[in-house]
């Protein structure tokens, strides 16, 4: 397990250039590790076996032949890259959280950092933004240039509208035929079962899914006093609430919601990680890398 790094998303969010942010985060993160977490490139040695006719002579270990007068061939693991699809919720409910702790900003930084990590280990990052509608923003491709494209798109993305999992999103999912990874960054505040359908669909598409449930401190603590009228960011609906009286009940209900989601994830063998937007990104990266190692 890597040592904990304090990668403060709020500080990074102040930097306009998302690629710079992502590189800074990843470099800082890697510098704190004792060994590289990257796996799967073709240089990875696996085992020796006796030479048989037809083997490529490039793979013969001549040092061993010199010592033992026997021909052995070095075997290497498969060097196939992993496609990593990043699903970022762009519904209006994500645009919540005061200042640096805004959920959408936090999600964007997290997506960028994950893309940078994927590019570094020669995986193919892709980005799918889903909200009112779903669109394949950037297809999965393993190149530096491609990552820059993702950063640019994330920088220009805006959170608005509701969360809906419609056919357009399912069409995109059907194209994910290769085994890969899917990272879902969302608050999962949908009025229907859309988000959960998305998770089930991803699981059905043979994807290793990691869920980052992003919540702002205001959502968790409800730090308001007295009576206020709350307006839903997605539906614009208004409701008067006396937070002093209702805080405890609200927190109970929110905890129950999170618990349901987590249980659902566990049922689908999906990794669930709740992220508080005023907390560092370390947890998210560690969670991702652990999962990546299993692919």
Residues that bind other proteins (CB under 8 A): 93-94, 96, 103, 187, 189, 191, 216, 218-219, 224-235, 237-242, 244-246, 249-250, 253-254, 257
Considering beta carbons, is residue 122 or 247 the nearer one to other proteins?
247
Sequence-ordered alpha helix ranges (H) in 46-102: 62-68
41 or 246: whose CB is closer to other proteins?
246
Parallel, antiparallel, or unpaired: how do β-strands 83-89 and 180-186 relate? parallel
Comparison of 96 and 212: residue with beta carbon closer to other proteins? 96
For the bound state, the minimum distance from the C-beta of residue 223 to other proteins, rounded and expressed in Å, comes to 11
Is the separation of the CB atoms in 111 and 154 below 8 Å? yes
Sequence-distant (6+) residues with CB within 8 A of 235 are 162, 191
- Least spacing, CB of residue 229 vs other proteins, in Å: 5
- Compare residues 3 and 236 and give the one whose CB is closer to other proteins: 236
Count of alpha carbons within 13 Å of 84, Cβ hemisphere only?
31
CB 127 within 8 A of CB 154: yes
Q: In whole angstroms, how close is the CB of 11 to other proteins at the nearest point?
A: 23
Residue with tokens 């968790």: 220
Q: CB 44 → other proteins: shortest distance, Å?
A: 44
Residue 227: count other Cβ atoms within 10 Å of its Cβ: 12
Q: How far is the CB of 208 from other proteins (least distance, A)?
A: 28
Query: Which of 174, 227 has the CB closer to other proteins?
Result: 227
Dihedral of CA 100/102/106/108: which sign? negative
3-class secondary structure, 163: coil
Burial class (CB in 10 A: 0-12, 13-18, 19+), 202: buried
Smallest gap from Cβ 93 to other proteins, in A, equals 4
C-alpha 159/C-alpha 211 separation (Å) is: 19
Q: Closest CB to other proteins among 242 and 263?
A: 242
């Amino acid at each position: 397990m890597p040592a904990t790094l304090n990668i403060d998303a709020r500080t990074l969010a102040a930097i306009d250039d998302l690629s710079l942010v992502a590189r800074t985060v990843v470099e800082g993160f890697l510098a704190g590790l004792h060994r590289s977490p990257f796996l799967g490139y073709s240089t990875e040695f696996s085992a020796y076996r006796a030479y048989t006719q037809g083997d490529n002579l490039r793979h013969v270990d001549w040092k061993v032949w010199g010592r033992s007068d026997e021909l052995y061939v070095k075997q290497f693991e498969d060097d196939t890259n992993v496609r990593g699809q990043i699903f970022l919720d762009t519904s209006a409910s994500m645009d919540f959280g005061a200042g640096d702790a805004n959920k959408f900003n936090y999600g964007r930084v997290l997506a960028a950092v994950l893309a940078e990590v994927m590019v570094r280990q020669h995986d193919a990052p892709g980005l799918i933004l889903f909200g009112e509608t779903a669109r394949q923003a950037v297809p999965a491709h393993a190149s530096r240039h491609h990552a820059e494209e993702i950063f640019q798109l994330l920088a220009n993305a805006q959170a608005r509208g509701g969360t809906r999992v419609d056919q357009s999103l399912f069409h995109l999912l059907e194209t994910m035929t290769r085994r890969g990874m899917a990272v879902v960054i969302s608050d999962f505040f949908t009025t229907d079962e859309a988000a959960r359908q998305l998770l089930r669909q991803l699981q059905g598409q043979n994807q290793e899914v990691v869920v980052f449930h992003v919540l702002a401190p205001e959502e968790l603590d409800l730090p308001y006093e007295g009576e206020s009228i709350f307006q839903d960011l997605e539906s614009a609906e208004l409701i008067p609430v006396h937070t002093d009286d209702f805080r405890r009940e609200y927190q109970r209900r929110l905890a129950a919601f999170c618990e349901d989601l987590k249980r659902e994830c566990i049922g689908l063998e999906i990794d669930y990680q709740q992220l508080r937007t005023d907390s560092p990104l370390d947890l998210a990266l560690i969670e991702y890398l652990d999962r990546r190692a299993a692919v």
